[in-house]
């Protein structure tokens, strides 16, 4: 019966992924302007593929010139390398994962040109851009299945499905799956899901398992450098294991096991991360030259802010606050305390990793993410939050008579909230790079629906 229920859950998640691809193709692509669906950040990520596969170099001047309408901003405009090359402050990881889909897009373009359909075959056109966008949706779908399987190790199929499906559709992850799939957040979610799936549950591991764990650590860091902080769960796991061992001899043996495992994880992760070091060496003259336009590298770095982070603003501000824009993440955070009833060590490890992400994202001058939809830099934490939301869902079902219906209705309402928010954001009903008013946050959504219905009626 459990396998049958799991198959139903997989089918639902695959259906959501397919619906996202359909939505992208019928809504996002037709609205493309100047033959481009790439966002500003997307150009930085996309340029790696186009330059490496067509020009066989890392000179991005022609990519930036071809993909931008205006020259007032280009990736690395505030980050001019001493080498004289065009800078690129974005990670190469997304391009690595997009590569097979980009090549398939090139094959489709060549086939279309062979039958005399006029399409771009130089690596820039909508076919190529759509290929990487669709690949992100595929990776998000795969990541949701991995996150579901992690949750199933503790909770029922329906609680796990409601948690991951709800977070997918009711958080910023949805926007970065359909609205801006050319950015790194969707593939970052997949990479972190892979890491959590390999790591969880904490256990004694073989050398192969440690190596596989190192592979996922390297991959998630290659996609977004801040993801390295999720490896904190390994530190907490090690400390917990050592502290709970009885005899001193056993503690020393456990310490040795984790030390050897950590060494292997570090070595394998470094190998997987090596492409980024090569890029930095070519562009900046050193494999350890973090671009100054990266928050850690200097553009957003302010020593004062590091010691006076915007902790509350990051969570509750109307300018992309995590809980303000996507309240389902607040429920998921509360759920982590319910998880502690089942496995305290795992709950502590997840909370530690989330707190570090919260601090890092709060401790820079661009804590709000500029024109982002919600707290986009926290999208990668979705696999961890999904476990918390599943715990809360199952707890509510056991505590209240109709708890499962209450959670279903709550998550459904939050999905509707997120869809309306996305419409407000995408169609210009609210400013993208400023704090919004409480009126826009609440009543504004209903006013938007009334206005859109009025426009529809006027056209009939």
Judge if the upstream peptide bond of residue 171 is cis by omega within 30 degrees of 0. no
For residue 460, the model assigns a pLDDT of 74
Which position has the higher pLDDT, 32 or 223?
A: 223
pLDDT of residue 203: 76
Q: Average of pLDDT values for 359-365? A: 92
What pLDDT does 76 receive? 52
Across 229-240, average pLDDT: 94
According to the model, what pLDDT value does residue 72 have? Answer: 40
Q: Is the pLDDT of residue 132 over 70?
A: yes
- For position 300, what pLDDT does the model report? 53
Residue-wise pLDDT for 77-117, tens only, equals 555 666 677 888 899 999 999 999 999 999 999 999 999 88
By residue count, the chain amounts to 460
Domain residue limits, the chain: 2-426
Average pLDDT over residues 347-355: 96
pLDDT at 192 over 80: yes
What is the percent of the chain with per-residue pLDDT over 70, rounded to a whole number?
A: 94
Q: Is residue 403 within 8 Å of 397, Cβ to Cβ?
A: yes
Report whether pLDDT(245) > 70: yes
Contact 187, 94 (CB under 8 A): yes
For residue 388, give Cα distances in angstroms to 48, 340, 385. Answer: 36, 9, 5
Tell me the average pLDDT across 420-441. 93
- What's the whole-number mean pLDDT along residues 157-163? 96
In this predicted structure, the answer to whether residue 25 has a pLDDT above a threshold of 90 is yes
User: CA nearest 332: which of 165, 150, 158, 167?
Assistant: 167
Kindly indicate the confidence band of residue 401, based on its pLDDT and cuts at 50, 70 and 90. Answer: confident
Give the pLDDT of residue 287: 80
Judged against a pLDDT cut of 50, whether residue 52 lies above it is answered with yes
Q: What is the pLDDT of residue 302?
A: 66
Query: pLDDT of 271-322, one tens digit each?
Result: 999 999 999 999 888 887 777 555 444 445 567 778 889 999 999 999 999 9
CA–CA distance, 423 with 253 (Å, rounded to integer): 56
| pLDDT-based confidence at residue 202 (cuts at 50, 70, 90) | confident
């Amino acid at each position: 019966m459990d396998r049958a229920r799991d198959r139903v859950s997989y089918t639902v998640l695959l259906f959501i992924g397919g619906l996202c691809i359909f939505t992208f193709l019928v809504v996002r692509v037709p609205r493309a302007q100047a033959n481009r669906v790439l966002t500003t950040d997307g150009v930085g990520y996309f340029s790696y593929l186009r330059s490496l596969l067509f020009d066989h170099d890392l000179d991005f001047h022609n990519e930036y010139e071809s993909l931008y309408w205006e020259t007032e901003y280009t990736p690395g405009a505030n980050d001019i390398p001493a080498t004289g090359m065009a800078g690129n402050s974005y990670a190469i990881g997304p391009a690595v994962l997009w590569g097979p889909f980009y090549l398939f897009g090139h094959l489709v373009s060549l086939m279309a040109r062979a039958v005399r359909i006029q399409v771009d075959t130089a690596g820039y056109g909508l076919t190529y851009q759509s290929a990487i966008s669709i690949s992100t949706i595929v990776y998000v779908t795969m990541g949701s299945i991995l996150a579901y399987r992690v949750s199933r190790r503790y909770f029922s199929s329906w609680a796990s499905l409601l948690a991951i499906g709800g977070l997918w559709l009711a958080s910023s992850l949805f926007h970065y799956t359909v609205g801006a799939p050319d950015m790194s957040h969707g593939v970052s979610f997949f990479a972190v899901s892979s890491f959590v799936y390999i790591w969880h549950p904490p256990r004694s591991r073989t050398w192969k398992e440690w190596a596989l764990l190192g592979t996922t650590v390297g991959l998630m860091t290659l996609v977004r450098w801040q993801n390295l902080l999720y490896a904190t769960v390994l530190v907490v796991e090690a400390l917990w294991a050592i502290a709970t061992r009885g005899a001193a001899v056993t503690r020393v043996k456990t310490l040795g096991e984790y030390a050897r495992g950590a060494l292997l994880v570090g070595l394998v992760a470094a190998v997987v991360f090596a492409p980024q070091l090569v890029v930095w060496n070519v562009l900046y003259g050193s494999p350890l030259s973090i671009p100054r336009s990266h928050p850690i590298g200097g553009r957003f770095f302010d020593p004062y802010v590091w010691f006076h982070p915007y902790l509350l603003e990051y969570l509750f501000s109307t300018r992309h606050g995590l809980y303000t824009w996507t309240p389902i993440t607040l429920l998921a955070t509360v759920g982590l305390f319910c998880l502690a009833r089942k496995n305290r060590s795992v709950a502590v490890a997840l909370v530690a990793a989330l707190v570090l992400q919260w601090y890092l994202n709060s401790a820079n001058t661009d804590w709000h993410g500029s024109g982002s939809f919600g707290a986009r830099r926290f999208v990668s934490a979705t696999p961890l939050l999904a476990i918390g939301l599943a715990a809360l869902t199952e707890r509510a079902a056991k505590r209240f008579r109709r708890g499962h219906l209450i959670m279903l209705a709550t998550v459904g309402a939050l999905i509707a909230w997120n869809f309306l928010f996305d419409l407000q954001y995408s169609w210009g009903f609210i400013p993208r790079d400023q704090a919004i008013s409480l009126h826009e946050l609440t009543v504004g959504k209903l006013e938007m629906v009334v206005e859109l219905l009025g426009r529809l009626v006027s056209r009939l």
